[in-house]
């Protein structure tokens, strides 16, 4: 039994605090559930009309009211995959450099630079992509790639500069600072005593890095990667500028395409027909569900890692 | 109350009263949204009108589709659309529409070594390019229409609109009329299922893409072509002549317009007869509710447009638009008097 040293006030405050904390947490859950319910409700017209076929139909015809999510899903997946393939190895290496190799005088400004990159608004990345990167790709990079790999269908088509590859590159640049910052912090938290133990046994820097630092920080790395993935999947303005806004699925990296977010950004304000609007809301629902699934998978993977780490230590 | 807190409270009350008083005499703003096609001329008119009367226009150039949607949602005082609504659609929503300005949609291209007006296109050729059937600038079909012009071996990148656009509506209306294949495969609308090409947001976006991609072809309202110094193509009109997009050519097409007999003033000006007519001419319309909740605001909006009808011709012609002739303007103002009501009373007298 609590001794009331100062009267009822502390108990009342305690009760209020608990209630407020529960309310705020509950509010978050309510908003999330509400979002899902509203998305589901507003896409019922489209779900009734197209059913599951919506997911793999590549049509997008506002004149005949025939819509399909396949081209948008393909563009989202393709640009995200390209972004992660480029960004994840790069950010691991940068983080390792910052923690293990760089002298502090160099590590600090580079760290600040990375954090600045993370804070730049995405629309600036989009404008930079359109005005700087796209012409560079069109005049130098893409023709060079075509000269080397020309015959492959992956590099076919006119080098326009805008398209899935450029969108993937811009996304990689946006996602890189996030992953680097998280992974750098994780690596910095590796207990020095473990690294010293490795050095004491005669391991080189690379061996200690590979076996101790990365192994210890695997959970954080996975967390950082999923954070970057979440950002890349939903990124709107940067992708809209450089992806080409074309509803089709093409095998070439140089082809233009569309992502779910860029489709919504381009067409939502003008969709006045009910089925059109409903199809767009269903696209939003798909994105919501995909993001949710990725989060759940991330949590499952992290739990598994924690259990493994627990069992070996 | 302590002295400092009392003076703080008095000070904020005084400030609030001053602000309220100031707002009562503050500027009026009328809001509109829609077509990017007439945006340059609306912006110019609004500037001059604000300098003269202090009434400001806040116009969001979001595309005709957006204009129609925002009008339906009643978030703006008026909507603007290059795609006219049919009488049935107008009655369903409770709107009237009137044409405010006319202009031309121009095919623009970016081919190294080609100057403005050097390349000529026939109607079916333009349709075939947009259908994806003609994919390179050195194709025989293009060479046939352009004897003596040196065209490089460069892939054609088609640029169209990514958003819901009245400019698209006018352009696809023209292609629909001249190409049976376009009619069956694609059709006319503010947003269509484009067989090929990349999409830019607004006339501004299409201009940006065409300027940046070698081998691109796009369609923009003529003011954008002029302002950005773009390379335009000549088009063969219904009379068989290759015409340049000029104010004279737009006026020649607009001269055929019979506004009096058009129900709800739904009139399309593409592929008009006349030796000098530009084939892809169109009018841009204003959408306005017949039943206005606020009579003063409705009058402010109509006053702005009446002023533009009366005083905006020179500014419009400077940008190579075609202003509405006086008899049409009078017809429209009579329509406002007849149709626009607020609480049962006529707004425009």
B291: left (phi over 0), alpha (psi -120 to 50) or beta: beta
Neighbours of A239 (CB within 10 A): 35
Is residue A303 domain-resident? yes
Residues A38 and A52 in one domain: no
* B162 vs A contacts (CB less than 8 Å): 245, 266-267
pLDDT recorded at residue A1: 60
Close Cβ partners of B265 (under 8 Å, ≥ 6 residues apart): B84, B97, B98, B99, B259, B285, B332, B335
Q: What is the pTM of this model?
A: 0.80
Question: d(Cα B146, Cα B228) in Å, to the nearest integer?
Answer: 25
Residue B172: pLDDT band by 50, 70, 90 thresholds? Answer: very high
Residues A19 and A51 in one domain: no
Is residue A3 domain-resident? no
Is residue A66 domain-resident? yes
Q: Helices then strands (H, E): number in chain B?
A: 14, 15
Is residue A155 domain-resident? yes
Is residue A4 domain-resident? no
Question: What mean pLDDT comes out for the span A132-145?
Answer: 90
Please state, for a pLDDT cut of 70, what percent of chain A lies above it.
96
pLDDT recorded at residue B24: 45
Residues A191 and A301 in one domain: yes
Residues A20 and A103 in one domain: no
Residues A172 and A196 in one domain: yes
Residue B69: pLDDT band by 50, 70, 90 thresholds? Answer: confident
Residues A29 and A108 in one domain: no
Residue A313: pLDDT band by 50, 70, 90 thresholds? Answer: very low
Question: What mean pLDDT comes out for the span B117-134?
Answer: 94
Say which of A60, A134, A272 has its CB closest to residue B212.
A134
Residues A23 and A130 in one domain: no
What CATH number does residue A66 fall under?
A: 1.10.3720.10
Compute the nearest-CA separation of B217 from chain A (Å): 12
Residues A163 and A268 in one domain: yes
Residues A28 and A89 in one domain: no
Question: What mean pLDDT comes out for the span A17-27?
Answer: 95
Say which of A161, A245, A270 has its CB closest to residue B213.
A161
pLDDT tens, residue by residue, A83-123:
999 999 999 999 989 988 889 899 999 999 998 988 899 99
Greater pLDDT, B236 or B37:
B236
Greater pLDDT, B257 or A240:
A240
> In the predicted model, is pLDDT for residue A157 greater than 50?
yes
pLDDT tens, residue by residue, B313-333:
999 988 888 898 888 899 999
Q: CA of B155: which chain A residue's CA is closest?
A: A158
Residues A24 and A52 in one domain: no
Neighbours of B162 (CB within 10 A): 30
Residues A283 and A156 in one domain: yes
Is residue A2 domain-resident? no
Question: What mean pLDDT comes out for the span A259-264?
Answer: 93
Is residue A180 domain-resident? yes
Q: A161, A261, A266, A275: best mutation site toward chain B, by most B Cβ within 10 Å?
A: A266
Domain total for chain A? 2
Which range, of A149-153, B29-33, B54-58, B207-211, averages the lowest pLDDT?
A149-153
Q: B67, B137, B173, B213: best mutation site toward chain A, by most A Cβ within 10 Å?
A: B213
* A158 vs B contacts (CB less than 8 Å): 154-155, 157, 215
Which range, of A8-12, A40-44, A117-121, B140-144, averages the lowest pLDDT?
A8-12
pLDDT recorded at residue A136: 92
DSSP B270: B
Give residue A205's domain range: 46-312
Mean pLDDT of all residues in chain A? Answer: 89
* Whether the Cβ atoms of residue A260 and residue A279 lie closer than 8 Å to each other: no
> In the predicted model, is pLDDT for residue B257 greater than 60?
yes
Find residue B323's DSSP bridge partners: B101
Is residue A69 domain-resident? yes
pLDDT recorded at residue A24: 96
Residues A237 and A122 in one domain: yes
């Amino acid at each position: 039994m609590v001794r009331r040293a100062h009267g009822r006030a502390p108990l009342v405050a305690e009760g209020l605090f608990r209630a407020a904390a529960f309310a705020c947490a509950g509010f978050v859950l309510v908003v999330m559930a509400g979002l899902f319910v509203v998305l589901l409700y507003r896409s019922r017209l489209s779900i009734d009309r197209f059913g599951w076929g919506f997911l793999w139909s590549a049509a997008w015809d506002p004149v005949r009211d025939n819509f399909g999510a396949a081209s948008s899903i393909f563009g989202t997946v393709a640009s995200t995959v390209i972004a992660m393939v480029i960004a994840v190895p790069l950010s691991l290496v940068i983080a390792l450099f910052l923690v293990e190799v760089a002298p502090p005088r160099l590590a600090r400004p580079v760290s600040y630079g990375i954090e600045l990159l993370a804070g730049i608004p995405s629309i600036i990345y989009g404008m930079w992509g359109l005005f700087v990167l796209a012409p560079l790709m069109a005049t130098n990079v893409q023709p060079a790639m075509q000269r080397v790999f020309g015959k492959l269908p992956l590099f076919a088509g006119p080098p326009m500069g805008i398209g899935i590859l450029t969108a993937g590159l811009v996304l990689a640049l946006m996602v890189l600072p996030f992953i680097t910052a998280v992974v750098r912090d994780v690596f910095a938290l590796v207990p020095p005593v473990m690294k010293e133990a490795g050095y004491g046994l005669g391991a080189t820097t690379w061996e200690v890095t590979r076996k101790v630092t990365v192994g210890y920080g695997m959970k954080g790395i996975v967390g950082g990667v999923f954070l970057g993935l979440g950002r890349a999947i939903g990124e709107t303005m940067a992708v809209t500028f450089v992806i080409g806004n074309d509803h089709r699925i093409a095998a070439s990296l140089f082809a233009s395409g569309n992502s779910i977010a860029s489709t919504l950004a381009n067409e939502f304000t003008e969709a006045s027909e009910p089925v059109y609007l409903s199809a767009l809301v269903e696209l939003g629902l798909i994105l919501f569900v995909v993001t949710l699934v990725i989060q759940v998978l991330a949590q499952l993977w992290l739990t598994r890692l924690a259990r493994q780490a627990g069992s070996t230590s | 109350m302590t002295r400092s807190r009392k003076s703080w409270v008095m000070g904020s009350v005084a400030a609030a009263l001053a602000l309220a008083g100031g707002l009562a005499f503050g500027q009026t703003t009328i809001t509109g949204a829609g077509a990017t096609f007439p945006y340059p001329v609306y912006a110019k008119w609004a500037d001059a009108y604000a300098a003269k009367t202090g009434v400001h226009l806040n116009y969001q150039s979001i595309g005709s589709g957006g204009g129609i949607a925002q009008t339906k949602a009643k978030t703006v005082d008026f909507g603007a659309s290059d795609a006219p609504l049919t009488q049935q659609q107008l009655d369903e929503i409770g709107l009237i529409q009137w044409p405010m300005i006319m202009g031309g949609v121009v095919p623009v291209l970016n081919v190294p070594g080609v100057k403005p007006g050097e390349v000529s296109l026939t109607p079916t050729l333009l349709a075939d390019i947009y259908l994806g059937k003609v994919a390179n600038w050195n194709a025989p079909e293009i060479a046939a229409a352009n004897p003596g012009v040196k065209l490089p071996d460069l892939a054609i990148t088609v640029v169209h609109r990514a958003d819901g656009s009245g400019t698209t509506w006018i352009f696809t209306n023209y292609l629909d009329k001249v190409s049976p294949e376009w009619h069956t495969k694609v059709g006319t609308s503010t947003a269509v299922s484009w067989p090929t090409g990349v999409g830019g947001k607004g006339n501004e976006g299409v201009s940006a893409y065409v300027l940046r991609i070698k081998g691109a072809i796009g369609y923009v309202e003529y003011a954008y072509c002029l302002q950005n110094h773009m390379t335009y193509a000549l088009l063969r009109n219904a009379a068989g002549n290759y015409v340049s997009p000029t104010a004279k050519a737009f006026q020649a097409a607009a001269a055929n317009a019979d506004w009096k007999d058009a129900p709800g003033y739904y009139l399309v000006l593409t592929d008009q007869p006349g030796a000098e007519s530009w084939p892809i001419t169109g009018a841009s319309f204003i959408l306005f509710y017949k039943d206005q909740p606020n009579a003063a605001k409705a009058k402010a909006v109509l006053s702005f447009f009446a002023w533009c009808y009366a005083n905006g011709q020179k500014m419009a012609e400077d940008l190579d638009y075609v202003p509405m002739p006086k008899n049409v303007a009078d017809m429209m103002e009579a329509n406002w008097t007849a149709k626009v009501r607020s609480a049962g009373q006529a707004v425009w007298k």
